[in-house]
Amino acid sequence: MTKKELYTRVLSYFRELHPEVTTELEFGSVFQLLVAVVLSAQCTDKRVNQVTPELFAHYPDAQAMAEADESEIYEYVKSVSYPNAKARHLVELSRMLVDEYGGEVPNDFDALLRLPGVGRKTANVMQAVAFGQSAMPVDTHVYRVSHRLGLVPSTADTPLKVEKMLVKHIPAEDLARAHHWLLLHGRYVCTSRKPHCDKCELSNICPKKIENSKLQ
């Protein structure tokens, strides 16, 4: 099977399985999505969704969060990973939004990267989910599934290399959805330690490139 044929089969499967798909993070505004995505770094969406309702009840927008102290934010996010750093980033990015963007989250990629706590993956998530742009955020699930399915070569050994490869082969109109397709497949089927190959409809075409696995 050629690379083009593999991409066509994989994308066709996901397109039929999940024609409409989006993030599992819960939010009520673009700002709240940004906060949730920052909190989700190296943390599950499930955990983030447990802490954000109370956080957003007290700090629903950038103005409110900009006026908070780190210690106040920490009390609401202390159960997520790296709570001290994330509390600091949330206050700092809120103040920058208020000071430089009128309290609104910018849709420009480079402007997003200037915000404290916002890296390439987070900026891409905002572009894809909040602003409907063609973007491919690469998290641990997307990275893993892309390699296992053979969508990217082993030489694509950084998230940026994976992102560029996927952007090259996936149609622009599918990019944002494809991020969620690969992420959800990695979260629920092609899991890290023990993939559920018996439940995977792609098993018959998957090269099963799983390091140190009998599936190889």
Catalytic residue numbers, as ranges: 121, 139
- Residues 93 and 34 sit within 8 Å (Cβ to Cβ): yes
Tokens of 176: 């944002």
Cα distance between residue 105 and residue 107, in whole Å: 7
Distance set, CA 148 to CA 8, 73, 90, 185, 205 (Å): 16, 39, 35, 11, 11
Find all residues with CB under 8 Å of 2, minimum gap 6, and list them.
none
Distance set, CA 20 to CA 16, 112, 145 (Å): 9, 26, 20
- Residues 133 and 176 sit within 8 Å (Cβ to Cβ): yes
